[in-house]
Amino acid sequence: MSLVYFYKDVNNIKTGVNNFFERIAKEMGSSTATVGLKIHFGEEKNTTYINPEWLKDVKKFFSDPVFIECNVLYRGRRTFTDDHIAVAKEHGFGFIEIDILNGKKGEETVEIPINIGLTKNAKIGRGIEKYRSIVVLSHFKGHIISGFGGAIKNIGMGLGSRPGKLDMHSSVMPVIDAEKCRGCALCKENCNVHAIDMEKGKAVISKEKCIGCAMCIAVCPRKAVRVPFGNDTSERLMEKMAEYAAAAVKGRCMWYINFLTDMTYRCDCVKRKQKPFMKDIGIVFSRDPVAIDTASLELVEKNFGKDPFKAHNHRNGKHILEYSEKIGLGTMDYELREV
């Protein structure tokens, strides 16, 4: 069984973060040299990423903290390092060093042998080799393909280099339901690799160009874009993310803090303002990524009355928890302790 600590005073989240940072610093003892803080800075125009103000005391606990992240797969302001860092600073994260691990263009990779399930060698951002101690700061929210995103997704997908991210997404190939499509072209405008064309007033996806980022599914107002029914792609993506997560943590000291705040149905990669669908719950902390995501999901279910992500995104997000447990990333068996 793993321990998960729960801080529920939503009006004083910074106090809770400091409490968790202090616990981590104590566990580290003298090895507080360079600590990587894995975070998602939020896509341009997104507003519900982790509030940087809550993290501002980090230097009181670690002598050399660095925000770490990887460039993303699709075209946007987080595709290349310079612009990625500029967005991070615009969003308020410029108070400590920012290290983008997969090189200026996202291609720099270290292959970590894992040999589990679908993954032989996980392609992780090369810069991870500099960090033996990592604190994973995850905004808990929905995700169009995995149902929800928490700690496992933050390290699995989040630390993948561009070839690694492509490997994880390779099983996702959406299709357009021409009957439902009204030709508004919103999907085309949001496809960052120009894989969508309009033909006779309907959207058409190019299989050659599509990278499976699922942004078109997220933005279509008619629910006309979907991953084909009966296709196991979303479960395959979840399994690959878990396998990449297992590779990323190999040989490292890891700590996890999940923020159950400003929770939205879609992820922080969405390039627009989203409205949270429920009240804030608090923050949780653990050494176990499976336990912390399980506890986060169950806290959301308890407070909302059911799994809102499953109801909205039509994905069985629990699959990633069960699979992660199966491959030894952690356990779904936890004890929740209030602090």
Contact 29, 63 (CB under 8 A): no
Q: Residue from 25, 86, 166, 186 that binds ligand SF4 (CB under 6 A)?
A: 186
DSSP for residue 100: E
Residues 6+ apart with CB under 8 A from 306: none
Number of chain residues interacting with ligand SF4 (CB under 6 A): 26
166 binds ligand SF4 (CB under 6 A): no
Task: Please identify, among the stretches 78-86, 90-98, 216-224, 229-237, the one whose residues bind ligand SF4 according to the rule CB under 6 A.
Answer: 216-224
Pick the closest to residue 253 from 288, 285, 284 (CA basis). 288
Residue range at the interface with ligand SF4 (CB under 6 A); choices 127-135, 180-188, 240-248, 291-299:
180-188
- Can residue 25 be called a binding residue for ligand SF4 (CB under 6 A)? no
d(CA 245, CA 134): 13
Q: Minimum distance between the CB of residue 59 and ligand SF4, rounded to whole angstroms?
A: 38
Q: Which of 70, 85, 220, 269 binds ligand SF4 (CB under 6 A)?
A: 220
Cα 311 off chain centre by: 20
191 in contact with ligand SF4 (CB under 6 A): yes
Stretch that binds ligand SF4, among 93-101, 135-143, 213-221, 233-241 (CB under 6 A): 213-221
Among residues 130, 182, 314, 337, which is the contact residue for ligand SF4, using CB under 6 A? Answer: 182
Q: What are residue 122's DSSP bridge partners?
A: 112
- Nearest-approach distance from CB 208 to ligand SF4, in angstroms: 11
Paired tokens of 242: 């878990």
Residue 178 sits in the site that holds ligand SF4 (CB under 6 A): no
| 82 versus 208: smaller Cβ distance to ligand SF4 | 208
- Is residue 72 a contact point for ligand SF4 (CB under 6 A)? no
Q: Which residues contact 326 (CB under 8 A, 6 or more apart)?
A: none
Q: In the set 174, 308, 317, 330, which binds ligand SF4 (CB under 6 A)?
A: 174
CA distance 224 to 192: 19
Instruction: Give how far Cα 141 sits from Cα of 33, 220, 303, Å.
Output: 31, 19, 14
Candidate residues 214, 238, 246, 320; the one interacting with ligand SF4 per rule CB under 6 A: 214
Residue 205 binding ligand SF4, by CB under 6 A: yes
Cβ–Cβ < 8 Å for 4, 286? yes
From the list 217-225, 230-238, 242-250, 320-328, the region that binds ligand SF4 by CB under 6 A is: 217-225
Structural tokens at position 80: 């290349």
Asked if 136 is part of the footprint of ligand SF4 (rule: CB under 6 A), the reply reads no
* Lookup result for tokens 């078109």: 216
Task: Please tell me whether residue 290 binds ligand SF4 under the rule CB under 6 A.
Answer: no
The H or E element that residue 215 is part of is helix 215-219
CB of 330 to ligand SF4, least distance (A): 30
The correct pick among 101, 152, 187, 241 for binding ligand SF4 (CB under 6 A) is 187
Verify binding: residue 195, ligand SF4, rule CB under 6 A: yes
**Choices 54-62, 220-228, 229-237, 271-279; region in contact with ligand SF4 by CB under 6 A:** 220-228
Shortest reach from residue 70's CB to ligand SF4, in Å? 18
Q: Give the residue from 265, 173, 178 showing the smallest Cα distance to 216.
A: 173
Q: Which of residues 225-264 bind ligand SF4 (CB under 6 A)?
A: 225
Dihedral through CA 303, CA 155, CA 62, CA 96, nearest 10?
-100
Residue written as token pair 């003298």: 30
Structure tokens at 22: 């202090």
Structure tokens at 327: 């491959």
At residue 137, what are phi and psi to the nearest 5 degrees?
Answer: -105, 110
Binding site for ligand SF4 (CB under 6 A): 174, 176, 181-187, 191, 193, 195-196, 203, 205, 210-216, 220, 222, 224-225
